[in-house]
Amino acid sequence: MTRIPMARPSWDDDMRQAALQTLDSLHWVKGPEGRAFGKEFSEYCGAVQGTPCQSGSVALWGALRLLEIGPGDEVLVPSLTYIATATCVSLVGATPVFVDVEPDYWCVDIASLEAARTPNTKAVIAVHLFGQMSDDALVDWCHQHDIAYIEDAAQAHGAVSAKGIKAGGVGDVACFSFFPSKNLAVGGEGGMMMTRREDLAARMDALVNHGRDARLESHELGSNLRMSEVSAAIGRVQLHRLEGWLDRRRTIAARYHQAFANLDGIEIPEIRHGTEHAWHQYCLLVENPDGLRHALDAAEIDSRVYYATPCHRQEVYADHPQHHAAFPVTDTIAHRLVAIPIFHQMSDEQVERVIQAVVKASHQVE
């Protein structure tokens, strides 16, 4: 029996040809593929500018630099997320202030943001967790308090808000990751910064190229954060496939919803009303996560817990004043979110194998 992985990178002849043509052109950096990828992806998201870069983590760092956030500033971040959401704040010398998430959709909770807001709060990084869009009301909250809205859209390629706006076109700056497990990838590491603000667009391109202008004079602190032309060429091909891939992910998620809706000890993920989930991960909220994972492993099916140790409890923040803080929702669900396979190449047979294994496990585990 072939094991079912959590994800599988996409690779086909069109991507191979795009990569080879770019290599054969001998134009491997700072060329037309990167510019086209940024333009095409930003247009897809409804933003005014997209700048490819080396990773989603780099994009987060760059977003904070663009917004001139540094020492003395505070940035509100959910603790239930990948660690890069928080460490990017520390890397620019600012202070991450951790907040709780919503009990139903698991994105950043606005009431928790309000309770944590201080005169030093300069931005919030809202994670569209697992492909679920954050609350549209967050835009108005940030505007009301003159706080920048950074979208951590690393898991949300193609997600759509209740207002019909795609991830990447909601906040002041959005950050994407193209890691191989993501909905859209580039044949290796990759990321993109995106903005809907004209005043940030020109600086965005300069930031990834040592802060230089067309005369090669550096106007602000930057570095070499560029994406290779080969990666951008692959990303452009994948972008044309993305909507079809999302349709498949949504079909699988709907099948899971139907199969798991009434299982004891297992809750299916909720979808915010009016939104279109991107389903980077399909996470079940499980009473006995170890039991489910052991059963899936025995059935040759991969699974993973997201995120067992919240950011504020990790060793890197051992000296942070919130290291031992209590966040009721995060503390309750962090160790219980079990992700099961969902990727567009899954066959119907594989989907049914996962369903049967989960249903069987729900009857066996206590």
Q: What is the CATH number of domain 242-364?
A: 3.90.1150.10
DSSP code of 270? Answer: P
Residues spanned by CATH 3.90.1150.10 within the chain? Answer: 242-364
Distance of CA 143 to the CA centre of its chain: 23
Burial of 29 (0-12, 13-18, 19+ CB in 10 A): middle
In the prediction, which pLDDT does 202 show?
83
Residues spanned by CATH 3.40.640.10 within the chain? Answer: 13-238
Question: Are the C-beta atoms of 39 and 59 separated by less than 8 Å?
Answer: no
| Closest listed residue to residue 136, CA positions, set 169, 174, 110, 162 | 162
Strand segments, DSSP code E, in the chain are 49-53, 74-78, 95-99, 121-127, 148-152, 173-177, 191-195, 266-267, 282-286, 304-305, 337-340
Whole-number Å distance between alpha carbons of 237 and 13: 10
DSSP code of 269? Answer: P
pLDDT band at 212 (very low <50, low <70, confident <90, very high): low
Percent of the chain beyond pLDDT 70? 97
Beta bridge partners of 95: 74
Six-digit token pair at 224?
């070499």
E strand or H helix at 217: none
Whole-number Å distance between alpha carbons of 60 and 90: 11
In the prediction, which pLDDT does 365 show?
57
The stretch 116-120 carries a mean pLDDT of 98
In the prediction, which pLDDT does 178 show?
97
Q: Can you give the pTM of this predicted structure?
A: 0.96
The stretch 24-50 carries a mean pLDDT of 96
In the prediction, which pLDDT does 325 show?
98
Give every strand in the sheet of 304-305, ordered side by side. Answer: 266-267, 282-286, 337-340, 304-305
In the prediction, which pLDDT does 356 show?
98
In the prediction, which pLDDT does 216 show?
62
Residues whose CB falls within 8 Å of the CB of residue 89, separated by 6 or more in sequence, listed in order: 64, 69, 75, 77, 95, 96, 125
Burial of 223 (0-12, 13-18, 19+ CB in 10 A): middle
The stretch 73-100 carries a mean pLDDT of 98
More confident residue, 28 or 364: 28
* CA triple 37-207-46, angle to 5 deg: 40
| Closest listed residue to residue 51, CA positions, set 175, 237, 144, 134 | 175
In the prediction, which pLDDT does 364 show?
77
CATH architecture for residues 13-238: 3-Layer(aba) Sandwich (3.40)
In the prediction, which pLDDT does 315 show?
98
